[in-house]
Amino acid sequence: MRFIPISQGDAPETPVASKHLPLTRRNLLKGTGVLMGTLAASSPLALLAPSTAWALELKFLNQTEGDTLLQMGRVLFPHAQLPDAVYALLAKDLDGAAATDQDKARQLREGLQHLDHLAGGSFLKASATRRLEAVKAMEGQDFFNTVRGQCVTSLYDNEMAYATFGYEGSAWEKGGYILRGFQDLKWLPDPTPEASPAPYMG
């Protein structure tokens, strides 16, 4: 099975419709840890990615630490439709920061150890309820704030998330969304003509 290494740095600027995702081919994976998984065959990503198998290299964290950050991201921002490949970007970004910043590295290591302790020894082996309790117990701490803050960009500002949530990318150069999906709303009644005048095309 060929694994497709995840690389945010190779993400194209073109919309999702171009059939590309931030996944690149490479024959050899190196690093202190490697996260791996597969995309569900029925997911939008499986149709766009060159392979359903993915892998992500870590420079500083080991595999267990990377997996723990991935799962902590799921607790903080739970999305059943987002595959682990997207949450793995959280681990990748935090790992990159730790590889070049000793203080960040120490904060992550100590924070992950404390998270394991709060979860009864292993966050990865803990139940969903115990994981939530452990994360809540760290709320407000520097480690918690670092991970939560990184989630915002790592989880949502990438082509894989765009494909999953149906975001079509920048629209200003295409005339905006007024005639490109804005009228697709089906769960509210149609507005009156006075409330929704014809768009200005001048």
Q: For 135-146, write each residue's pLDDT tens digit.
A: 999 999 999 999
pLDDT value of position 114: 98
Over residues 193-202, the mean pLDDT reads 70
Structural domain total, the chain? 1
Please list the residues that pair with 53 across neighbouring strands.
38
Q: Rounded to an integer, what distance in angstroms lies between the CA atom of residue 2 and that of residue 25?
A: 9
Please list the residues that pair with 35 across neighbouring strands.
56
Q: Which residue has the higher pLDDT, 103 or 7?
A: 103
Q: Which domain holds residue 113?
A: 4-176
Identify whether the C-beta of residue 67 lies closer than 8 Å to the C-beta of residue 35.
Answer: yes
Is 129 part of a structural domain of the chain?
A: yes
Is 189 part of a structural domain of the chain?
A: no
Angstrom CA distances, 41 to 2, 49, 56, 62, stand at 15, 11, 19, 28
Is 120 part of a structural domain of the chain?
A: yes
Q: For 6-55, write each residue's pLDDT tens digit.
A: 654 443 333 333 334 554 444 444 556 788 888 887 777 776 676 778 88
Q: What is the pTM of this model?
A: 0.74
The distance in angstroms from the start CA to the end CA of the chain is 54
For residue 111, give the amino acid letter: G
Mean pLDDT over each residue of the chain, to the nearest integer: 81
Tokens coding 167: 């975001």
Identify whether the C-beta of residue 81 lies closer than 8 Å to the C-beta of residue 53.
Answer: no
Q: Look at residue 121 and tell me whether its pLDDT is greater than 80.
A: yes
